[in-house]
Structure 1
Amino acid sequence: MMCLVSPRTGRHLQRYDKGCRQVVGCIPYRYKSKGIQDKEIEVLVISAQKGQGMQFPKGGWEIDESMEQAALRETIEEAGVVGNVESKLGKWVYKSKSQAIMHEGYMFPLLVNKQLDNWPEMNFRKRRWMTVAEAKEICPHAWMKEALDVLSKLGKWVYKSKSQAIMHEGYMFPLLVNKQLDNWPEMNFRKRRWMTVAEAKEICPHAWMKEALDVLVCRQTQPQPKL
């Protein structure tokens, strides 16, 4: 299979914001089995051009492309995979060791649907699928590890409990159901009901849970950018 894109060279189109180089990248992932818990996905890491480290594909965001287009392009060039670019995981500011300048890094999840046999940087990069835990262990970049943490959950919300009048930090995770139990620990004092997303947003009284639901829907419906 031929490469889908030609690699870009030079930095004459590179974006900067107040002296910070704009960098975008992806965490390519796939499901090992039914479900979307941390232990049931694999992520793809690639070797760095310099040194022995492993990392996620990323590179400069250029002025003639959207952020999502740049993220997909860099992933194809460096990792040789294609897929759906989902909602942005966040922004991280870090200093490049090799260039000694500040960078703003944006990371996106990419659900892989095709792995290429040939890709632009195949002659000087290795790629390897591994678990989330293995990737966190092998990746030397703290900001990429933080992005991986965000991928594993829908997000973090800080809210005040009405009943206890204290602050809480709430973390929400998506879970793709493959079995519904007839008996469960709290069955005697909880009811359960399947409904549409719109119905759930209407009936749920907690703003932070509604926001988590919005994040889930956005991840599932993010359109595929065109190169």
Structure 2
Amino acid sequence: MASGVKRTARSETRQGAALPWRLTDGGRQILMITSRETRRWVIPKGGRMVGKTDPEAAAQEAMEEAGVRGEMDPTSIGVFRYAKGLKDGGVRQCVVSVYPLEVLVQLGAWPEAHQRERRWMSLSEAADLVHEPDLAALIRDFDATPLED
């Protein structure tokens, strides 16, 4: 580069995520899954997909990773960032748009069932268990969002 500044930072990779939720007598619950490598509690997410909108891609990730289908809200409730560890030891910065998914169907068998655990939990428990502060804030804010009739 002419300025003599070395560019080492890559641009962030954009991803979409589903926030699978259901309404119970005790209020809203979130379906959390474990990541394959670190076994941390996360929400279903993945990269953009050719021919799909970000909410459609997030819905597909929810089916593959958590075994759920439902009504996807096409409007993101916000974004969070995280550092994705790569197989070569490197790290990629990701920015993830989050879309609420009201779960209508929970499958007994799904593509990644043997690779992940899934568990319904309260929004406050889910927010406490995730490692990303921005995602925890989105989950807590979602708990305060009124339900539409």
TM-score normalised to the size of structure 1?
0.55
Answer yes or no: is 1:21 the counterpart of 2:8: no
Deviations 1:163-184 (A, max 9, x none): xxxxxxxxxxx26xxxxxxxxx
What CA distance in whole angstroms lies between the structure 1 residues aligned with 2:101 and 2:29? 12
What CA distance in whole angstroms lies between the structure 1 residues aligned with 2:84 and 2:118? 22
2:106 is matched with 115
Deviations 1:11-30 (A, max 9, x none): xxxxxxx7221111111111
The Cα of 1:153 is off from its aligned counterpart by 2.7
Instruction: Rate the CA distance shift 1:91–1:76 in 2: closer, same or farther, 3 A.
Output: same
Identify the match of residue 22 of structure 2 among 21, 25, 30.
30
CA RMSD of aligned residues (A): 1.9
What CA distance in whole angstroms lies between the structure 2 residues aligned with 1:108 and 1:114? 17
Answer yes or no: is 1:128 the counterpart of 2:115: no
The Cα of 1:97 is off from its aligned counterpart by 4.1
The Cα of 1:91 is off from its aligned counterpart by 2.2
What CA distance in whole angstroms lies between the structure 2 residues aligned with 1:51 and 1:103? 17
Identity %: 26
Answer yes or no: is 1:96 the counterpart of 2:87: no
Identify the match of residue 65 of structure 1 among 40, 52, 60.
52
The Cα of 1:78 is off from its aligned counterpart by 0.3
Deviations 1:11-67 (A, max 9, x none): xxxxxxx7221111111111112xxxxx61111000111123111111111232111
What CA distance in whole angstroms lies between the structure 1 residues aligned with 2:44 and 2:100? 11
2:131 is matched with 140
Answer yes or no: is 1:51 the counterpart of 2:38: yes
1:192 is matched with none
Q: What is the identity, as a one-letter code, of the residue corresponding to 1:32?
A: T
What CA distance in whole angstroms lies between the structure 1 residues aligned with 2:82 and 2:30? 23
Instruction: Rate the CA distance shift 1:95–1:53 in 2: closer, same or farther, 3 A.
Output: closer
Q: What is the identity, as a one-letter code, of the residue corresponding to 2:11?
A: G
* Alignment gaps of 5+ in structure 2: 1-9
Q: What is the identity, as a one-letter code, of the residue corresponding to 2:52?
A: E
From the two aligned structures, give the one with the greater strand fraction: 2
SS at match of 1:65: coil
The Cα of 1:107 is off from its aligned counterpart by 0.4
What CA distance in whole angstroms lies between the structure 1 residues aligned with 2:40 and 2:84? 15
The Cα of 1:126 is off from its aligned counterpart by 0.7
What CA distance in whole angstroms lies between the structure 1 residues aligned with 2:129 and 2:81? 21
